[in-house]
Amino acid sequence: MKGEGFKPRCETFSALIASYSRKGLVSEAVDTFEEMKTLGVEPNEIVFGSLVDIFAENGKVEEALRYYSLMEKAGLVPNQIVITSLIKAYSKVSQWKEAQELYSRMKDMEGGPDVIASNCMINLYANLGMITEAKLILNDLRRNSLADVQKLGAVNDCASYNNIMACYAANGKINASAELLKQMMASHILPDATTFKIIFTLLRKGGIPSEAVSQLEVSYKEGRAYAKSAIVSSLFSVVKMHEDAMESCEEFLSGKFALDSSAYNSAINAYGASGEVEKALNLFMRMQDEGLKPDLVTYIYLAGCYGKAGMVEGLRRVYGLLKYGEIEPNESLYKALIDAYRDAGKNDLAEMVEQEMRFSASTEEIDDSESEGD
């Protein structure tokens, strides 16, 4: 960079170091900084900020702090960007107290903490299981965003929500997760792939049959138009947020999309779980009118509807299909029938199905052992 009689300006060096920082070229950034010192060029805030950031990104806290200290010794006041980089560094090594201290310091600065710093703190707290602290910052972000969207840049990525939701999921807090999802969507933040991965975990923990969850996963992976609304509806149904569940169903039942049995299954579940059994059964008939055959998941959800409505004959029909081999014996369906008979006040029939389930399981074990012997 040095030519005869030419001494580059600080701005030239700072632009170069900033470029190296963005590209993650640590050695090149440090070498350029050392060249600055050799030439007697005083570094500015951008130079120090870029060096702090590049080491922060790599989780090298001591190096990031060294350049931060050099910056202060040079009489330069760290701005929000530099402090955010340090918070990022502390977050990568889970030093929450140090990060928290810097974040508190940002609150006294003009404009307060930015979205990046806030997200770093949310992620740090969530990863450490400090849900209350994470939620407080998230709520602050939302309030600030609503008050001054342009200033804050809008809270339009869902990483913060995902981290808190994942923490809730790990602790079995399904209701809190669903409420957070509703809040997220009300803020016009669309769930992403990570959100849906968390929702699938929540559905399994919430008692949705594994066959139904797998069906929803397939519809999501294949990009079916109704999939996202159906998945969200299923989560809301699990936690008895029935109005929200049915609202999600209406998004794909409006006639805009081509539906398959998986879509109808989700809607039957949502309406049945809410007590709107007649609507659920009408959807079952609509499904058949469209030439779609009921599958295992359909019958699992139908059993629930019949049980809530006390429709014992309907339950007997489903049980008959299972007993006489028209439906493959399946534990989830057996359990759905047992629960449905109990809901209908038919404990004797529930006991009968339970015995049949145990017998079926024993038969399968014998068949498996004979196959292994062959």
Each residue's pLDDT tens digit, 238-262: 999 999 999 999 999 988 888 999 9
Please say whether the beta carbons of 155 and 187 come within 8 A: yes
Residue 302 or 116, more confident: 302
Residues forming beta bridges with residue 3, ordered by sequence position: 6
pLDDT interval class at 124 (50, 70, 90)? confident
Dist. CA 106–CA 284, nearest whole Å:
57
Burial class of residue 29, CB neighbours in 10 A (0-12, 13-18, 19+): buried
Positive or negative, the Cα torsion across 140, 113, 53, 98?
negative
188-209 pLDDT per residue, tens? 888 999 999 999 999 999 999 9
pLDDT at 229 over 70: yes
φ, ψ of residue 98 in degrees (nearest 5): -65, -40
SS3 209: coil
Please say whether the beta carbons of 130 and 162 come within 8 A: no
CA angle 331, 332, 338 (to 5 degrees): 90
Q: What's 3's DSSP letter?
A: B
- Give domain limits for the chain: 7-76
Query: What does the pLDDT read at residue 57?
Result: 84
Dist. CA 307–CA 241, nearest whole Å:
20
Q: What percent of the chain has pLDDT over 70?
A: 90
Query: What does the pLDDT read at residue 186?
Result: 87
Average pLDDT (112-123) is 82
Provide the token pair at 98. Answer: 């140090």
pLDDT interval class at 14 (50, 70, 90)? confident
Please say whether the beta carbons of 87 and 103 come within 8 A: yes
Average pLDDT (130-142) is 82
Dist. CA 66–CA 89, nearest whole Å:
12
Query: What does the pLDDT read at residue 216?
Result: 97
Query: What does the pLDDT read at residue 151?
Result: 40
**Residue at token pair 């058949």:** 288
pTM equals 0.70
Average pLDDT (55-84) is 87
Q: What percent of the chain has pLDDT over 90?
A: 44
DSSP-assigned states of every residue in 253-273: HSSSS---HHHHHHHHHHHHH
Dist. CA 259–CA 82, nearest whole Å:
51
Look at residues 123, 195, 192 and name the one whose alpha carbon lies nearest to residue 160.
123
pLDDT at 266 over 90: yes
Q: What is the mean pLDDT of the chain?
A: 86
Residue 308 or 58, more confident: 308
pLDDT interval class at 137 (50, 70, 90)? confident
Average pLDDT (267-283) is 95
pLDDT at 161 over 80: yes
Please say whether the beta carbons of 88 and 118 come within 8 A: no
Dist. CA 195–CA 216, nearest whole Å:
14
